[in-house]
Structure 1
């Protein structure tokens, strides 16, 4: 992982309920398959909906620390890439459970312009197959926690995941930035993230 200076950070609160396929979304870069592996740096944020590689049909594929999901590196524990035959994604055909057997984390490093503000928007839900009911985790920028998140799975089902949309804004201080989603749940049933988008904006956002 590239070493970069920690940025000045501003958090933005929960912005409301998210329904798959409904409502206006922030513009996102095209999500095209690209290179992955140690030392790979994408020039733009990519694969925010975890659409590649393809997970096992009607099931999931587990990725361990050090493995890659496109440009995303699993940086702690293990995670599950989940097909829409197992549960409802927020966008596209796949989503990511941040817990496989225990808490996991994924990171992506991409180019940024120092001094420019960026908004990270994502859809959040939880694995309904087991407890705890409250799924928790963190959004990190260059290793610094910029937002704690939580999702209560009470009343949710695989066909009605109840995604909510969250966002957080940071100001880049280096030509590269590493974005991380990390679970803080100690079980095999973690928070689920999908439809991650990163957009630049003029300050103040």
Structure 2
């Protein structure tokens, strides 16, 4: 007799972020210099809004992207630490993982660039040292951070903590659901009660047959 074996392949979690590599926009970085400064309130990059200060929308003519041809410098101009955000649907109580690539603008001080990532009322800070890096050797590093959703929609925000005009660089952003909100499990006492009723029912049926 032939026995069929079924292998269930793991399902890859869907990326909840739109345009995470910043490839799509209504504007194009000029060349030269290979970047375009966007002011607070700008929605020129599809799916994203500039939330504070200014950011630079950077092309590979200026420096190497982590994914595709575009990336961001979260410090657009001197003393103007920038930020961006995107809102997406979430399930209350579910755990989500933010994954992104970080580097830094290597052209100006300080050598260590700092960034804050926030969502669902929590945040975490990240840093990157540009020592020895250049536009053709950015040294992109993958970072990750988890949060638990507290609403049916969540806003993810990245902000610069540097503010020198040469800040943290960002690319290749994604958010995936790590674990779902667990469904309710009957209390042990309830389960025992259900089993007891079942046993009594079987006993009564057998008694009638006798």
| Shorter-chain TM-score above 0.5 | yes
Offset of 1:170 from its aligned partner? 0.7
> What is the alpha-carbon distance in structure 1 between the residues aligned to residue 113 and residue 84 of structure 2?
16
Q: Which residue in the other structure is 1:94 paired with?
A: 70
> What is the alpha-carbon distance in structure 2 between the residues aligned to residue 89 and residue 81 of structure 1?
11
Q: Which residue in the other structure is 2:193 paired with?
A: none
2:17 to 26, 29, 45: 45
Larger of the two Rg values belongs to structure: 2
| Contact 1:99 1:188 (8 Å CA) reproduced | yes
Matched, 1:156 2:133: yes
1:179 to 119, 139, 156: 156
Q: State how 1:2-151 maps to structure 2 within 5 Å.
A: 29=15, 44-53=16-25, 55-58=28-31, 59-68=34-43, 69-101=45-77, 102-142=80-120, 144-151=121-128
**SS of match in other structure, 1:157:** coil
Relative distance call for 1:189 and 1:27 in structure 2 (3 A) is farther
Q: Which has the higher contact order (CA 8 A, sep 6+)?
A: 1
Q: Which residue in the other structure is 1:13 paired with?
A: none
**SS of match in other structure, 1:182:** strand
Gaps of 5+ in 1: 1-25, 30-43
Q: Counting helix residues as a fraction of each chain, which structure ranks higher?
A: 2
Aligned positions, number: 164
Q: Provide runs of 4+ in structure 1 moved above 3 Å.
A: 26-29
Matched, 1:189 2:162: no
Q: What's the TM-score, normalizing by structure 2?
A: 0.74
Relative distance call for 1:52 and 1:117 in structure 2 (3 A) is same
| Contact 1:77 1:105 (8 Å CA) reproduced | yes
